[in-house]
A and B are shown apart, each in its own frame.
Chain A
């Protein structure tokens, strides 16, 4: 199946710093990528939908200035957590769609565990 690479897998940073997470579709072009947040033992919460060449669409309650998303190419989307604080500590997961409708052919990255000290 298609591969989505997410990097880094784990990051620890100090409060107030910014962290960038990359999501790459390795063997297909993804016009749409999605970013999720997952708290321990909970489900995935959609944060934003990232479309190549246009502004991301954020879900209600997600601060767009806090979580900057850039989808500059068909194979790369980045999520930058700006001025991170301990409450931003979470597991962040990206996914990319390999054509088809929204739910189909959706492949997930391996996730990034962010810990803000």
Chain B
């Protein structure tokens, strides 16, 4: 059973545009929601993370929006650049448990 559902599977955005990736979860015990960026042949790298006590977190061009009542959270990449082309994974965890990953979104930013 997929604990965290992620969409879309792939995304193509023009340079300068906004990339939006969505995730949804069912387990209300989740209390930590990170996003990871992965380039081909590399391990994931933490991009940004949020806890459910805030509805939005922004770091540079990356923003997480969190909707606790809807059990959804999303990643927005503003002014998308070709260098942002990668696979993005959302994830969730609670307490001392491990991360549950989404299925990933392959982002391609066209110059």
Contacts and interface: CB of A to CB of B under 8 A. Distances in A.
Interface residues of A, number: 26
A42 interface: yes
B43 A109 contact: yes
A103 interface: yes
Nearest to B30: A103
Interface in B73-111: 89, 91-99, 101-104, 106
A49 B45 CA distance: 19
Contact of A111 (B34, B42, B89): B42
Nearest to B99: A103
A102 B97 contact: yes
B44 A43 contact: no
B44 A101 contact: no
B62 interface: no
B32 to A, nearest CB: 4
A103 B92 contact: yes
Nearest to A91: B41
B46 interface: yes
A34 B99 CA distance: 10
Contacts of B45: 108
A101 B96 contact: yes
Interface in B19-38: 32, 34, 36
A49 B98 contact: yes
A11 interface: no
A107 interface: yes
B103 A93 contact: no
Contacts of A49: 98
Interface in A3-18: 4, 6, 9
Interface of A: 1, 4, 6, 9, 34, 41-44, 46, 49, 91, 93-95, 101-104, 106-111, 113
Given A94-B43, A107-B46, 8 more contacts: A6-B43, A91-B41, A102-B95, A102-B98, A102-B99, A106-B46, A106-B99, A108-B45
